[in-house]
């Protein structure tokens, strides 16, 4: 008896066994390939499933097996390698396999819709259009359309990537209405030629490249630890070139959607190849289309954020993970995977090299280097001899501060602007003030749904919760005692901006946080302005620390270094060292005298001094040793189980009964149930269990136990729970 083993695209942890469709020949069933979609009955509805295998045995009573309804695909939608990766991820992250495989599907595919013929549309100029160009008729009336028409004529055709990225739909359709251009159906073709010559590498870069080149046909994990501006991206480009020459695809992962324009630009300037972007900013239909381009091998270079680690590449030859330390690679809801770790596993399954690049590699990666699993390459100097910025602290104890700025920092800003250079100020809190308190009775504005204080946003006159997004009108008197004497505490970027605007009238000032720079387009506009190199002051959050190049910045000010010094989490020191190194790295890429000033109340704190005196590469070794003494990751393992419930008792009770039944002993410690560091968020109480062990196998066994018990216990009042393997935050 032939059995079809299926994963249902839904949050169910187990596989399901079914019988083949009624009246399907045995031979035909044998030929069904894993990775095709199948529609199967489930309760009183039908669901889309993926075939995992055709087998002859089942643990289910055979009389209870049902026939599937319909075979949806002839050929697998997902290659064997990718299916293997998904199965690995489902088991490693203790996540329902159907949902993991769904992460590797486009939305159409998930819904079981047919996969249509892959065609592309390009715009071409009609003969009437060519005639119009010759006579210069259109230019006077519609300059935008005229330049677009000229561009299409000059390039022969323009593809749909161009439409969304560079010109508005309306210009295209206006020209179409005038019958000057037309939309033509074409089949995507493979183009991969190199446009520009590779740059001559310096000695250090050459060594890295040749070492990776030696292993280019098989799996090896390479780590490039190169200081900011040391030419890592240039090495990536040459690796891409080598891979394209072999007719293979390159998957380039970047941490942030905001970095795509910059990266795509740099890659597209170099190669005449089809570049496909994969990120959350795509519409469903664009994503479907891109997905097909990748899976059918038309695209050569895939540039994407986290979820692109599942891109359906059909001829993958190289994976590059840029800024591999970045915590954005870890998905923080639903399927909580690390895209970096998945990428490494993927390279292993596909037997291709993978490169993890960063100026500040994660300790996980450095441990793998230490144990010789990964090959380490180091670039310690900046290209062109620019020196790394010089770090000093500003002792702000008892100093007057204005908008969070000391007079020493203000003077330094003035000097820099006077010299015609640019300044970057880092403050990791948006809004105007982080707390509003009554000076008479002590009342504090808190979020109704979370255990946090509301942030004051002055421009929009509101109080906003940065955790659940709830907002309320700004109040002018205390709701408790009616006093109008309200105090603002805790400085956010808006307040710093206000003070900077007062102090530097006439200077260009940009505030760079998610309120002001909400999307990719706004970031592009900002970058355009900043790279014109006029003196300016940038004030921003983390957003500024990530990968962007600001060649004109020669002074970086960190307004509140102390907020990094006392993190809640065991990763605090690592994060601080990474953040300060990355923010500092924005400075002086082309200059020899760039400075980083850290404002602190703790200039003598040993870690503050270490940050100032040591390189990340030295510092990270100490931090790693320290983790070892406490069996903390990466020298120990953590798995977190959290329950979010409307009533505190539900989550607590749920976790308690799991903990009791699981009876975890031996080399795994079970801690909890305990409330999370933020015990309530968005109206839900958060309780957690934490598993901690030095032994990976044991901790996963324990997690399997927790999950299988958790699946069986009835959940009261719509309680949610999840498991997080290798959590990046445990508080």
Least distance to Zn ion, CB of residue 332, Å: 16
Contact 322, 546 (CB under 8 A): no
Helix (H) or strand (E) holding 194: strand 192-194
Least distance to ligand ADP, CB of residue 317, Å: 21
Least distance to ligand ADP, CB of residue 204, Å: 9
Closest CA to 491 of 407, 443, 428, 557: 428
Least distance to Zn ion, CB of residue 453, Å: 10
Judged by beta carbon, residue 21 or residue 547, the one nearer ligand ADP is 547
- Considering CB distances under 5 to 8 angstroms, the limit depending on partner class, which of Zn ion, ligand ADP, none binds residue 231? ligand ADP
Least distance to Zn ion, CB of residue 487, Å: 10
What's the CA gap between 475 and 469, in Å, rounded?
A: 18
- Considering CB distances under 5 to 8 angstroms, the limit depending on partner class, which of ligand ADP, Zn ion, none binds residue 400? none
Judged by beta carbon, residue 253 or residue 450, the one nearer Zn ion is 450
Judged by beta carbon, residue 600 or residue 687, the one nearer Zn ion is 687
Judged by beta carbon, residue 161 or residue 323, the one nearer ligand ADP is 323
- Considering CB distances under 5 to 8 angstroms, the limit depending on partner class, which of ligand ADP, Zn ion, none binds residue 226? ligand ADP
- Considering CB distances under 5 to 8 angstroms, the limit depending on partner class, which of ligand ADP, Zn ion, none binds residue 441? Zn ion
Contact 574, 620 (CB under 8 A): yes
Least distance to ligand ADP, CB of residue 320, Å: 11
Least distance to ligand ADP, CB of residue 555, Å: 19
What's the CA gap between 540 and 545, in Å, rounded?
A: 9
How many other CB atoms sit within 10 Å of the CB of residue 651?
Answer: 28
Q: Which long-range contacts (CB under 8 A, 24 or more apart) does 137-143 make?
A: 138/180, 142/174
Contact 342, 304 (CB under 8 A): no
What 8-state DSSP symbol labels residue 167? S
Q: What are phi and psi of 123, to 5 degrees?
A: -90, 135
Judged by beta carbon, residue 230 or residue 295, the one nearer ligand ADP is 230
Full 3-state SS string of 114-153:
CCCCCCEEEEEECHHHHHHHHHCCCCCCCHHHHHHHHHHH
- Considering CB distances under 5 to 8 angstroms, the limit depending on partner class, which of ligand ADP, Zn ion, none binds residue 443? Zn ion
- Considering CB distances under 5 to 8 angstroms, the limit depending on partner class, which of Zn ion, ligand ADP, none binds residue 450? Zn ion
- Considering CB distances under 5 to 8 angstroms, the limit depending on partner class, which of Zn ion, ligand ADP, none binds residue 465? Zn ion
Task: Tell me the β-bridge partners of 39.
Answer: 48, 70
- Considering CB distances under 5 to 8 angstroms, the limit depending on partner class, which of ligand ADP, Zn ion, none binds residue 228? ligand ADP
Task: Tell me the β-bridge partners of 509.
Answer: 537
Contact 68, 40 (CB under 8 A): yes
- Considering CB distances under 5 to 8 angstroms, the limit depending on partner class, which of ligand ADP, Zn ion, none binds residue 21? none
Least distance to ligand ADP, CB of residue 200, Å: 6
- Considering CB distances under 5 to 8 angstroms, the limit depending on partner class, which of ligand ADP, Zn ion, none binds residue 478? Zn ion
Binding site for ligand ADP (CB under 6 A): 199-202, 205, 226, 228-234, 383
* Pairing between β-strand 720-725 and β-strand 637-645 as defined by DSSP bridges: antiparallel
Least distance to Zn ion, CB of residue 434, Å: 14
Judged by beta carbon, residue 479 or residue 506, the one nearer Zn ion is 479
Calculate the dihedral angle through the C-alpha atoms of 583, 586, 592, 595, rounding to the nearest 10 degrees.
-30
Judged by beta carbon, residue 615 or residue 697, the one nearer ligand ADP is 615
Full 3-state SS string of 670-720:
EEEEEEEEEEEECCEEEEEEEEEECCHHHHHHHHHHHHHHHHHCCCCCCCE
Calculate the dihedral angle through the C-alpha atoms of 584, 590, 591, 595, rounding to the nearest 10 degrees.
-10
* Pairing between β-strand 536-540 and β-strand 508-512 as defined by DSSP bridges: parallel
Judged by beta carbon, residue 231 or residue 361, the one nearer ligand ADP is 231
Least distance to Zn ion, CB of residue 440, Å: 5
Closest CA to 311 of 285, 350, 283, 272: 350
Contact 693, 724 (CB under 8 A): no
- Considering CB distances under 5 to 8 angstroms, the limit depending on partner class, which of ligand ADP, Zn ion, none binds residue 24? none
Residues 6+ apart with CB under 8 A from 671: 689, 690, 691, 692
Judged by beta carbon, residue 202 or residue 514, the one nearer ligand ADP is 202
What 8-state DSSP symbol labels residue 272? E
Judged by beta carbon, residue 449 or residue 590, the one nearer ligand ADP is 590
Judged by beta carbon, residue 283 or residue 380, the one nearer ligand ADP is 380
Contact 75, 255 (CB under 8 A): no
Least distance to ligand ADP, CB of residue 495, Å: 32
- Considering CB distances under 5 to 8 angstroms, the limit depending on partner class, which of ligand ADP, Zn ion, none binds residue 447? Zn ion
Judged by beta carbon, residue 40 or residue 254, the one nearer ligand ADP is 254
Least distance to ligand ADP, CB of residue 419, Å: 22
Contact 273, 290 (CB under 8 A): no
Judged by beta carbon, residue 325 or residue 681, the one nearer Zn ion is 681
- Considering CB distances under 5 to 8 angstroms, the limit depending on partner class, which of Zn ion, ligand ADP, none binds residue 331? none
* Pairing between β-strand 249-253 and β-strand 316-322 as defined by DSSP bridges: parallel
Least distance to ligand ADP, CB of residue 551, Å: 8
Binding site for Zn ion (CB under 5 A): 438, 440-441, 443, 447, 449-450, 465, 467-468, 470, 478, 480-481, 483
Residues 6+ apart with CB under 8 A from 662: 670, 702, 705, 706, 709
- Considering CB distances under 5 to 8 angstroms, the limit depending on partner class, which of Zn ion, ligand ADP, none binds residue 201? ligand ADP
Residue 600 token pair: 């602190």
Judged by beta carbon, residue 48 or residue 447, the one nearer Zn ion is 447
Least distance to ligand ADP, CB of residue 251, Å: 18
Contact 171, 145 (CB under 8 A): yes
């Amino acid at each position: 008896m032939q059995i079809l083993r299926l994963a249902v695209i839904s949050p169910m942890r187990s596989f399901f066994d079914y019988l083949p469709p009624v009246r399907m020949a045995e031979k035909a069933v044998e030929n069904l390939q894993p990775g095709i979609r199948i529609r199967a009955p489930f309760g009183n509805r039908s669901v889309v499933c993926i075939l995992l295998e055709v087998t002859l045995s089942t643990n289910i009573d055979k009389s209870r097996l049902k026939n599937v309804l319909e075979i949806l695909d002839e050929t697998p939608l997902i290659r064997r390698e990718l299916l293997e990766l998904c199965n690995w991820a489902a088991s490693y992250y203790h996540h329902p396999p159907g949902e993991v495989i769904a992460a590797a599907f486009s939305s159409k595919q998930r819904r079981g819709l047919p996969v249509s013929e892959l065609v592309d549309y390009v715009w071409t100029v009609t003969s009437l259009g060519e005639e119009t160009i010759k006579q210069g008729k259109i230019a006077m009336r519609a300059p935008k359309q005229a330049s677009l028409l000229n561009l299409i004529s000059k390039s022969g055709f323009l593809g749909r990537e161009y439409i969304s990225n560079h010109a508005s739909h309306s210009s295209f359709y206006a020209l179409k209405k005038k019958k000057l251009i037309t939309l033509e159906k074409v089949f995507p073709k493979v183009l991969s030629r190199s446009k520009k010559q590779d740059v001559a590498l310096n000695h250090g870069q050459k060594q890295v490249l040749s070492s990776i080149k030696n292993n280019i046909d098989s799996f090896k994990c390479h780590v490039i630890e190169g200081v900011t501006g040391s030419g890592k991206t240039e090495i990536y480009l040459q690796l891409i070139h080598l891979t394209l020459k072999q007719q293979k695809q390159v998957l380039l992962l970047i941490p942030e959607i905001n970095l795509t324009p910059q990266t795509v630009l740099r890659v597209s300037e170099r190669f005449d190849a089809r570049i496909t972007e994969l990120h959350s900013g795509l519409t469903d239909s664009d994503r479907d289309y891109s997905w097909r381009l990748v899976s059918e091998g038309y695209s050569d270079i895939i540039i994407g954020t986290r979820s692109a680690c599942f891109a359906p590449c059909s001829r993958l030859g190289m994976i590059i993970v840029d800024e591999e330390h970045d915590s954005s690679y870890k998905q923080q809801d639903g399927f909580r995977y690390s895209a970096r770790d998945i990428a490494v596993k993927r390279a292993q399954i596909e037997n291709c090299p993978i490169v993890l690049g960063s100026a500040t590699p994660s300790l996980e990666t450095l441990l793998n280097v230490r144990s010789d699993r990964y090959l380490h390459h180091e670039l310690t100097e900046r290209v062109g001899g620019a020196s790394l910025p010089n770090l000093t602290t500003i002792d702000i104890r008892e100093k007057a501060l204005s908008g969070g700025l000391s007079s020493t920092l203000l003077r330094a800003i003035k000097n820099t602007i006077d010299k015609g250079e640019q300044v970057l100020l880092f403050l990791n809190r948006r809004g105007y003030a982080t707390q509003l308190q009554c000076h008479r009775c002590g009342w504090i504005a808190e979020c109704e749904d979370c255990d946090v204080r509301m942030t004051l946003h002055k421009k929009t006159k509101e109080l906003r919760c940065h955790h659940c997004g709830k907002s309320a009108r700004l109040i002018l008197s205390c709701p408790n005692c009616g006093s109008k004497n309200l105090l603002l505490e805790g400085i956010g970027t808006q307040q710093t901006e206000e003070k900077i605007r007062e102090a530097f009238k006439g200077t260009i000032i940009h505030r760079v946080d998610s309120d002001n720079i909400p999307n990719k387009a706004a970031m592009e506009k900002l970058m355009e302005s900043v790279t014109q190199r006029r003196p300016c002051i940038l004030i921003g959050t983390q957003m500024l620390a990530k990968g962007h190049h600001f060649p004109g910045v020669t002074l970086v000010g960190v307004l509140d270094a102390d907020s990094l010094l006392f993190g809640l989490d065991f990763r605090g020191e690592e994060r601080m060292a990474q953040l300060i190194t990355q923010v500092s790295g924005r400075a002086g890429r082309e200059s020899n005298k760039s400075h980083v000033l850290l404002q602190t109340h703790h200039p003598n704190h040993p870690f503050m001094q270490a940050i100032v005196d040591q390189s990340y590469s030295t510092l990270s070794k100490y931090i790693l040793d320290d983790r070892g003494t406490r069996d903390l990751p990466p020298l120990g393992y953590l798995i977190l189980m959290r329950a979010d419930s409307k009533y505190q008792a539900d989550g607590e009770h749920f976790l308690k009964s799991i903990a009791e039944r699981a009876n975890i002993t031996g080399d795994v410690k079970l801690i909890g149930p305990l409330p999370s560091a933020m015990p309530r968020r968005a109206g839900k109480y958060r309780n957690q269990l934490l598993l901690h062990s030095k032994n990976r196998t044991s901790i996963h066994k324990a997690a399997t136990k927790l999950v299988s018990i958790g699946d069986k216990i009835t959940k009261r009042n719509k309680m949610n729970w999840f498991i997080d393997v290798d959590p990046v935050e445990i508080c």
